[in-house]
Amino acid sequence: MSVHGEPLRRRLPLRRAWTVLLLDVVCGAAALITGRDLYAHLAYLLTAALLLSFWWGWSATRGLRFRRYTRTSRAQVGRPLEERFTLINRSRWPKLGLVVYDHSELPDHRAGQVLPYLRPRGEHGWTVRTLCTRRGRFRLGPVTIAGGDPLGLFEFRRRLPESNLIVVYPATVPVRGFPHPVGHLPGGDALRRRTHHVTTNAAGVRDYVPGDGFNRIHWPSTARQRRLIVKEFELDPRAEVWLFLDVERGVHVRLRLHEAERLRQERRTWWERLEHLELEPSTEEYAVTAAASVARHFIRGRRAVGLVAYGQRREVIPAGRGERQLGKILDTLAALRATGDVPFAQVLSAEGRRLPRGALVVAISPSIRAEWVEAALSLGRAGRNVVAILVDGAAFGGPVGAAALGERLRAAGVPALVLRRRADLVLDFPV
């Protein structure tokens, strides 16, 4: 039986105890006034019941040890989180009717438990799987263990500070048909800067040093020199992908679901939610999901990806490769909120001019303001490749105009995708 929250009222056992105590006093007074043994025996019985119940309830939560184990400190929206709990009884007495309340911040994480019986020197374990539905940083725990006496006169609670922290990454969806514009560097594509990554631009050879990968070895030179020779590479400006995410407070909207639709979503089974990802109905969540998906798409393609967002503060993650870089971006997106005050046009103008020519700028915004479109087109004229992802705010109760902006961008030669609310979300760029 699962328990989440604390539905039991602590006042009810206390009222029962006061009632029994009042009866005890009445019986004692009646015994003194009338001198009858019946009232005296009842007073003794009630006094013994109160003392025994108090001791039983007090000892119910003593000698207990609680453990919680989480396999990972990272999770993702649309994927399950698994936690393992163990309650250990280190006393020589059994525990009856224990209730474990969990105070985790993770939505829908019902980790509480009712334990009818816990044997002496024994333990009880259970596993909880929760489907993550909201990104962010959450605390798992602490827990409160409640125990009482068989008569229900007293209830004692003990708070155990065992807790963990978990970061829930935003969801990622498939990216199809992403346009790959051609670079603008005159005289070639290479950027004259050495890198330890393997790129398509070989700059020369050098002697092997410990730590070099075997895929860098240049075998013809190794055979001629009779020692290990490795290739050196230069960066490719087209491999730098910069995600510009609009998190200005005034441009994002959230859809208020009708009661029938909200109940339908709540009644969906765990397996239905796992098979069919359904994001929160807000332009913020769709924009963050689009940024996370594009970042994963290019990093899995061995491209360097950076992130720019002006949310709670200025967030700029330098371009980098590998799963570690993807973790940095997802970790930042998990905590990012649409609370910024800087217009997206200013963000594009201020940060975009610092990028090298030929860099790919992916602008993600639900705004229908023409200023940021002009800023994006200006970056394109300055030698940067621009791709736009417009989240259609009309599907979330916001203003109409994303489709018109998309047509304007495509007419200017900028690939644009209008992202609308849907259950099977896919970033499918038009050919």
What pLDDT does residue 187 have? 39
Q: What global pTM score does this model have?
A: 0.79
Cα(361)–Cα(295) distance, integer angstroms: 12
What pLDDT does residue 273 have? 62
What pLDDT does residue 215 have? 77
Question: What percent of the chain shows pLDDT beyond 70?
Answer: 85
**Helices then strands (H, E): number in the chain?**
10, 21
- Mean pLDDT over residues 196-220, rounded? 71
Find out whether 236 and 192 touch, Cβ atoms under 8 Å: no
- Mean pLDDT over residues 382-392, rounded? 93
Split at pLDDT 50, 70, 90, the class of 266 is: low
- Mean pLDDT over residues 187-214, rounded? 60
Split at pLDDT 50, 70, 90, the class of 414 is: very high
Residue with the larger pLDDT of the pair 90 and 192? 90
47: DSSP letter: H
- Mean pLDDT over residues 233-240, rounded? 59
- Mean pLDDT over residues 237-260, rounded? 82
Split at pLDDT 50, 70, 90, the class of 261 is: low
Instruction: Give the contacts of 340 (CB within 8 A, at least 6 positions apart).
Output: 247, 248, 249, 309, 310, 311, 312
Split at pLDDT 50, 70, 90, the class of 24 is: confident
In the predicted model, is pLDDT for residue 185 greater than 60?
no
Cα(304)–Cα(300) distance, integer angstroms: 10
What pLDDT does residue 183 have? 47
pLDDT in tens, 306-331: 999 999 899 999 999 899 999 999 99
In the predicted model, is pLDDT for residue 171 greater than 60?
yes
75-89, 254-268, 327-341: the lowest-pLDDT one? 254-268
- Mean pLDDT over residues 42-68, rounded? 92
Find out whether 92 and 121 touch, Cβ atoms under 8 Å: yes
What pLDDT does residue 151 have? 86
User: Which helix or strand (DSSP H or E) is residue 297 part of?
Assistant: helix 283-300
What pLDDT does residue 210 have? 79
- Mean pLDDT over residues 411-420, rounded? 93
In the predicted model, is pLDDT for residue 197 greater than 60?
no
In the predicted model, is pLDDT for residue 74 greater than 60?
yes
Beta strands in 103-249 (DSSP E): 113-118, 123-131, 136-140, 143-148, 155-160, 164-169, 175-176, 191-195, 201-207, 229-235, 240-245
In the predicted model, is pLDDT for residue 190 greater than 60?
no
What pLDDT does residue 21 have? 87
pLDDT in tens, 58-68: 999 999 999 99
Cα(118)–Cα(135) distance, integer angstroms: 36
Q: Please say whether the dihedral angle defined by the alpha carbons of residues 139, 140, 144 and 150, taken in this order, is positive or negative.
A: positive
Bin 322: left if φ > 0, else alpha if -120 < ψ < 50, else beta: left
What pLDDT does residue 425 have? 83
In the predicted model, is pLDDT for residue 201 greater than 60?
no
Find out whether 305 and 298 touch, Cβ atoms under 8 Å: yes
Task: Map out the domains of the chain with their CATH numbers.
Answer: 1-169 (2.60.40.10), 175-180+237-428 (3.40.50.410), 192-235 (no CATH)
12-26, 66-80, 258-272, 343-357: the lowest-pLDDT one? 258-272
What pLDDT does residue 272 have? 60
What pLDDT does residue 428 have? 87
Residue with the larger pLDDT of the pair 272 and 315? 315
